[in-house]
Amino acid sequence: MGVRAILGLAARGDGAAILAPPTATAAPPVRESSVYVPALGMLPPSVTLTTVEAAGLSAVRRCVSLIANSIAGREWTEWEGTRRLEPSRLVLRPAAGMTRREWAWRVVAAMCLNDLAYVYMVGGVDDEGVPGSLIPIPNQAISPVGAVDPWDIVPPSQYRLSGIGPTVSGEAVLRIRGPIWPGVPPHLAGIMAMARSTLAMSQASDAYAARYWAAGGSPITQITVVEKVSDTQAAGIAQRWMDRRSKGPDYPAVFGEGGKAEPFGADPTTATAVEARREMVLDVARHLGVPASLAMAPAPAGSMTYTNVEAEGLSLFRYTLGGFVDPLQDAISDLLPGGWRGGRRMVIDMDPLTRADQESRYRAWAIGLGQGVPFLTPDEVREAEGLPPMEVPAVTEPTPEPTPTPEPEPNPPEPVPAAGA
């Protein structure tokens, strides 16, 4: 059996390959509250949040902002082999209508929430084959058209963009992928879909706490009465309570003989509820790969020492930011002149996040410039510190001191003639 048969690839008339639909299989019975997706099976009830709702959660906002700010503010450099080049147009400004920082922020934020960012290439290409401009497209504004590979091995051939004509070619859309989950379609990837229960739980907690403080107490109340009441009377009592409470906590409710209102449900001010909300923040931070301390929700066990805090920047880059930086570098490098092997490439300078403190750096520089066989020059050290080369003062010849002119000797006295001469 060949590779095409294994992947279910069928040849189109133009010689290209499309993914043939898999053999139909009987789907299990589907409950009303569940969703069945081919190749994924049963999914829990759909509680997907919108981007606005997800960004309103403090944990999501903190973690996404941390990752995007850490990457968007860094310098982009361009290299060819081991030689550093002057940054080209695409490296200096990927999109003509926005700054590089805004462009990177949009792309990285989309990768955080959806594991995938779409970029629309416009403006044709220049003499070197580099696209004119790269426009980041929100994931909600783009959708594939036609036959779609459910395993996402073959990219879509056409897309529909919101407000831009009927369709655009798939060759004009650049997909920047973060984590790639085998067998999961792009529209079901990312924490917005895969971790929707965790996000919905955090949103429900925030909404309940807001209702608690707005109502001046527990928003859920049970009313007990001594006398036996009918359903109609019970509904009337409940409605009177709701009407009174809707005016605000300053309006008291009055009950007849034997009536009593008691709070019912969770109290968000108790230690148990506070601990549960902290665990929800940690769950979101774990989904995004952000350490608990950087998510401003330190874990209850363990303590942070000075050494741990200093190493957090390096740990964050190694285990979290690298998953966003590497795909971004690959996507831009593929658009630069030259092949993927030996051609020009873009590198994001992440050194500021992994640098030691000033005293430690200066001690290391002293070793590199020290006795024995130095392996660094002063100019290399100054360049690494972001300083210009040291100016060497011009060597001038010393001005010779003037030779003193000897004073003339006084004339000898004339001889006195002898007496009688």
pLDDT in tens, the chain (421 residues): 332 332 333 333 333 333 333 333 333 333 333 333 333 333 344 556 888 888 889 999 999 999 999 999 999 999 988 888 999 999 999 998 899 999 999 999 999 999 999 999 999 988 888 999 999 999 989 989 888 888 888 889 999 988 777 889 999 999 999 888 888 888 788 888 888 888 888 888 888 888 777 766 676 677 777 778 788 888 888 888 777 777 776 777 777 666 777 776 677 777 777 888 888 888 999 999 998 888 887 665 555 554 555 577 778 888 899 999 999 999 999 999 886 667 899 999 988 777 777 777 888 888 888 767 777 888 888 887 778 888 766 666 667 777 777 777 667 667 766 666 5
Distances (CA, A) of 32 to 35, 43, 62, 200: 8, 12, 35, 19
**How far, in Å, CA of 45 to CA of 34, rounded?**
5
Rounded-to-integer distance, Cα 122 and Cα 81, Å: 29
What pTM was estimated for this model as a whole?
0.71
pLDDT digits (tens, 9 = 90+) for 100-109: 999 999 999 9
Task: Give the C-alpha separation, 312 to 320, whole Å.
Answer: 11
Say how far residue 235 (Cα) sits from the centre of its chain: 51
The percentage of residues in the chain with a pLDDT greater than 70, rounded to a whole number, is: 76
Give dist(CA 30, CA 362) in Å, integer: 66
Tokens linked to 410: 């006084």
Rounded CA separation 369/379 (Å): 11
For 100, the token pair is: 């590089």
- Extract the tokens encoding 401: 């001191």
Tokens of 59: 């944990």
Residue 125: which of 133, 116, 117 has the closest Cα? 133
Alpha helices for 290-357 (secondary structure H) = 306-316, 322-335, 351-354
Calpha distance 215→209 (Å, rounded): 10
* Phi and psi based region of residue 142 (left: phi greater than 0; alpha: psi -120 to 50; beta: remaining): beta
Q: Long-range contact list for 80-89, CB < 8 A, 24+ apart?
A: 80/338, 80/343, 80/344, 80/345, 81/342, 85/344, 88/130, 88/336, 88/344, 89/126, 89/130
Judge contact between 198 and 63, C-beta under 8 A.
Answer: no
The answer to whether the CB of 337 falls within 8 A of the CB of 321 is no
Give the integer Cα–Cα distance in Å for 196 and 24. Answer: 29
Angle at 197 between CA 194 and CA 203, to 5 degrees: 125
135-184 pLDDT, tens digit per residue, is 999 998 998 988 888 888 888 999 998 877 788 999 999 999 988 888 88
Identity of the residue numbered 254 = V
